Chains A and B, each alone.
Chain A
């Protein structure tokens, strides 16, 4: 029995070794908002599979029943970051009760994967309107039929209206894809951070909300943050650039 227990211990230990764990982040991660990260799992083992793995990342756990050699598995793991700016996921804890359910062993894999967390978008108070927050134009309600032509295809970030989801294309991929429309019209605006209500974190949240809203409405949007002014533009990459600026604001 002792011999068997010793060998099962070795099997349990080896079951947690030689794994490759990597994380793929979505383009947009917002503070205090659950985000779905993609966990890629494969093994360096040549013969034996891994069994009954539980991988814990930032308090979220996912399970993998069996990972065969040369197999690559992808799992979604939901993580909520509580601070904006650069967030680092330092480690993944891999646990398993394999081979016999007497003990749960664990092994730590250092990941040191980092991502940029944007401020959580906060809608502006109802009825709030101040022209001083915008330059070269004014806020307007969303116009019907503001855009009809698809300019490009991008990943769904939960900020886009559902009607923009390209269902046919999404069906062929693992994730939802949205049609990014070309702007038809709308005056360019520049958001002045200092003019937004509330403390600095609230201002950043309002600014993130406005950037998403305005660009999706098809208005070229710029940002004035401190002494720095980013001229208005209308593209997805520009929107991410503005959000990154907000995320990194000291």
Chain B
């Protein structure tokens, strides 16, 4: 015999663990420690029937509410709310366990899990959700027994039966849950993105760069976005996000560019879908060079930069039409002087080096070649740490340390170009990405953040130059192609995040609408298909066979007595219009009928059946003959 109350207590601890785990890393110290302690207390105290009295629980809950309510403000909503839920859960776990309290505790565990999605809505959430759903359902069913039949102590067979039927519910509900997820009306913006998200401001790219302002660069592996497209060549993987076109206090910043009617020529068309990870991204990443973003509601800038809509969360996936290996030129003239101002702290040695190299050269293209030559001969190398810092960082990088990261390469190269009188600008974005062969998309993480240069050459337009390529170790350090096993595993796991992002996170009202349109178009298409039985037969045969088998197995086979009775009823109804109701007996139904055959049948049949014996073969034969006579004899 089992005590339902004990089982419920253990299940409650399990539910609390499931609710707590995904949330733990985002909680402050108090709730982070309080819940595990409360779970341990609840687990062991139940056997000794120890619990915090209801009135103390109430006082603690009010104190927790006041404490967290004071921390609420417009910019800090999520953290206090979630921590308050966690503390409430801890208080309930150590408190008395009435059926109502059990119910509240389970709901709080569910809320804690839901609260974790305000910080991170990763596919891992699904596993916790499924686990909690099963624990929740079993607990709810047991709680029903506890509330309605507290004295009931099931044996192992009964307990197994109760738990099985409880587990069956989420299993049966799963298809319906998925169906409802896709059809229920959704908000136009996913609700999560409207809330402040802790730690979601990272994107790896900066809105300004300055030589020597950091000693090392980001190597974070957090995914920034995924790009669904065919596999591209490594030198085509420049993901364009921002153009830094002006210098202010030696810092490269972005100002509204001078008007230019830009156009993209040549190159190969590429269409790709971008799925952004949650986080604030001021400019939408695109593939160099982007023609347009389908459905983009903002105003693209003339230098092919696409500011993210005001609510960054409003656009989590979009389709880009781009051209790789294309030239970006301008129709008509534009203000080239805007792109010619060099930084004030340009090293004298660089100035003289550039001056020497371009003396006597008139053609812009030749000037570019000359500067590229300078960098190629400098024997620079790429590094992500131990970078030169301070006011002389550029000089230090070029002439002493000779090692730096993409920002230093780009700043020094663009500076050199401007010194040579070539309009130039920095382009910030990402370079490279790991291609997931399994699902056909690139994963671009923070560490892929990159800066390169665009230079204006008359007659050619804006040409992309990646100065980091002048590093002697460029291949190994920047465009290294990893093929190790861990990367493959990581990409395989990332497929989950990708599909999760694609199917759940970015599934909004628009996706729903387009899915509905596709389905309705699909139905229209069906009408146009001419049904060809011969072709369809193999596809229909198996389900039909299975259905037939199922019917044969599940349909109760009739006994000879049942068949005989059914025949008798059919014939009597046809001949004399007698209706047999399930509640009335045979005698009653035929009482008013003066027919010897009918009476004979009823007498013989009931004599056997009411004595709970089967009809003999002779009786079946005789009764069949009687039924035949009834059928043949017209009513008088």
* Genuine A/B complex: yes
List chain A positions with a Cβ less than 8 A from chain B. Answer: 2-4, 6-8, 10-11, 48-49, 51-52, 63, 65-66, 68, 97-101, 110, 112
Bound complex: CA A63 to CA B165 (Å): 20
Contact stretch, chosen from B154-162, B194-202, B452-460, B569-577: B154-162
Q: Which of A6, A11, A66 contacts B154 (CB 8 A)?
A: A66
CB of B152 within 8 A of chain A?
Answer: yes
The dominant DSSP class at the B interface is: helix
Query: Are A65 and B583 in contact, CB atoms less than 8 angstroms apart?
Result: no
A6 closest partner in B (C-beta): B176
CB of B147 within 8 A of chain A?
Answer: yes
B282-327 at interface with A (beta carbon < 8 Å): none
Q: Which of B144, B169, B179, B583 contacts A112 (CB 8 A)?
A: B583
Bound complex: CA A98 to CA B152 (Å): 15
Q: Mark B131-148, 1 if CB is under 8 A from A, else 0.
A: 001000100110111011
Bound complex: CA A101 to CA B99 (Å): 10
Max chain A Cβ within 10 angstroms of own Cβ: one of B154, B177, B179:
B177
A-B CB proximity, top 4 nearest: A3-B177, A7-B173, A3-B176, A101-B144
CB of B118 within 8 A of chain A?
Answer: no
Bound complex: CA A135 to CA B423 (Å): 138
CB of B593 within 8 A of chain A?
Answer: no
CB of B279 within 8 A of chain A?
Answer: no
Contacts of B173 in A (CB 8 A): 3-4, 6-8
What is the total number of residues of chain B having a CB less than 8 Å from a CB of chain A?
30
Contacts of A65 in B (CB 8 A): 145, 149, 152, 154, 158
A-B contact pairs, 12 of them (CB 8 A): A2-B177, A3-B173, A3-B176, A3-B179, A4-B177, A6-B176, A7-B176, A11-B168, A51-B165, A65-B158, A101-B143, A101-B144
Query: Are B152 and A99 in contact, CB atoms less than 8 angstroms apart?
Result: no
Contacts of B177 in A (CB 8 A): 2-4
State the Cβ distance, B306 to closest chain A Cβ, in Å.
Answer: 38
Known: A4-B177, A98-B141. 5 other contacts (CB 8 A): A6-B173, A49-B165, A65-B158, A100-B141, A100-B144
- A-B pairs under 8 A by CB, number: 73
Query: Are B180 and A2 in contact, CB atoms less than 8 angstroms apart?
Result: yes
Given contacts A98-B141, A100-B141, A112-B583, contact A7 B161 (CB under 8 A): no
Query: Are B144 and A98 in contact, CB atoms less than 8 angstroms apart?
Result: yes
Query: Are B180 and A97 in contact, CB atoms less than 8 angstroms apart?
Result: no
List chain B positions with a Cβ less than 8 A from chain A. Answer: 99, 133, 137, 140-141, 143-145, 147-149, 152, 154, 158, 161-162, 165-166, 168-170, 172-174, 176-177, 179-180, 184, 583
Query: Are A4 and B170 in contact, CB atoms less than 8 angstroms apart?
Result: yes
Given contacts A4-B177, A66-B154, contact A52 B144 (CB under 8 A): yes
Contacts of B174 in A (CB 8 A): 3
Bound complex: CA A63 to CA B147 (Å): 14
Bound complex: CA A10 to CA B133 (Å): 18
Contacts of A6 in B (CB 8 A): 173, 176
Contacts of B172 in A (CB 8 A): 7, 10
Bound complex: CA A118 to CA B14 (Å): 60
Contacts of A11 in B (CB 8 A): 165, 168-169
State the Cβ distance, B109 to closest chain A Cβ, in Å.
Answer: 14
Bound complex: CA A97 to CA B162 (Å): 14
Bound complex: CA A51 to CA B163 (Å): 12
B175 closest partner in A (C-beta): A3
State the Cβ distance, A116 to closest chain B Cβ, in Å.
Answer: 19
Contacts of A97 in B (CB 8 A): 144, 147-148
Contacts of B176 in A (CB 8 A): 3, 6-7
